[in-house]
Structure 1
Amino acid sequence: MEKKISYYNNFSKSKFSKLTIQERFEKIYNENSWESNESRSGIGSEIKNTKEVLRAINQIIKQYNIKSIIDIPCGDFNWMSSLDMKNINYKGFDIVNSAIEENNKNFKKTNINFYCSDITSSELTKGDLMFVRDCLVHFSYEDIKKSIFRIKQSKSKYLMSTSFVNLEKNIDIYSAGWRPVNLEKEPFNFPKPLITFNEKCNEMDGIYADKSICLWEIEKLPDLS
């Protein structure tokens, strides 16, 4: 039987059946249910697990002349705060109010701002790069499709998002759980990415070694609405 991250089985439909999607993620964040001593956004947001992602973003910024980044969900900004943003207009969005309040208190600058937003239902701000890491893996098929609709609606140029590129078949879950997602497989059928960066993920003894951050042109994404 495949090993899974320790919180995988804790987030059942019954536990969250009476909560809105915002209430679910606020509960998880405020109770540190993702079990990281460094970041309440989870172990995937620890500095040691994001070095390759930072390299990838820096490459994309230079290669595609990125001047504005929309980061959703931004979480607690633990690792993203290491990115050189002196020439970037950065807007971080998250569904968790307390995360946004803390980020604006600790990190807000003229070119760095944070806002509360639900990617499944809110109109998203336009940017050169829409960065959506470790987000869709927590959503049901329905909420992933809603998110992609909002991303396309924003008219942003590029999307960087998490994809487990060797996964053969996706499964559906109740939003607030977790499982790997391959965006190139059914029912999403994304085109081949412009660039794929392997994150060199060694969590859970390397069973998710195919975890990647991929770049797509948003206008070429399929219509999933």
Structure 2
Amino acid sequence: MGEPVRVDVVAVDPMLEAGAVAALHSCPDVEVVTTGGPAQVTVVIVDGVDAEALDLVRATRVAAHRPEVVLVATDVAPAEVLHVIAAGARGLLRRREAGPNRLARTVLAAAAGDCTVPPDMLDRLLGTEIGTELGSGFGAAVSIPHARSAGPGLSERERAVLALVAEGRETGEIAKELSYSTRTVAVVVHDITRRFRLRNRAHAVAYAIRAGLL
């Protein structure tokens, strides 16, 4: 058995934080650490998925120890799922679903690099229409091509770039992380969107997740 996954919890409401900490303490594969410590996964608890919540996810992802993020929200609209993923979250749960076992499984999946979304929302995510287009605000429609049109898939370089795009990184940050020029990053993203007939970076992330390319 390996070392337990180090987890911390961030919540505006101290009672919610205490509840999540207590739930995680019941899992032997998880070690709860003090907020701000070197956690592998941070559980972020919010009421709704608004700009402030997404900023909190992004800020947590770029912390010194770069933890994965599991977002627990009271209410999550299907149209907001891709916003959460693009902001860098690896897991998403509604608060009513975040019992000890479910929360622990989602945390462990995030630590392993897997992305967990509620099944009913995943069904909508895998549909041909998603009720939002990232980067252009909430509410616009976006069509995601079917996975069978993926063709040869992505090269390692394309996958590395797109994975960082999915974390909400800007072009300059991606270039620095991968030791590429900003032009190279821009060309890679452009090639992906052109080859798969996608609209923009956010559409590319949605498509890659749906097609199992990330």
Considering the TM-score relative to the shorter chain, is it more than 0.5? no
What TM-score, normalized to structure 1?
0.32
Q: Look at both structures and tell me which one has the larger radius of gyration over its CA atoms.
A: 2
Higher relative contact order (CA 8 A, sep 6+): 1
What TM-score, normalized to structure 2?
0.33
If each structure's helix is expressed as a fraction of its own residues, which one has the higher value? 2
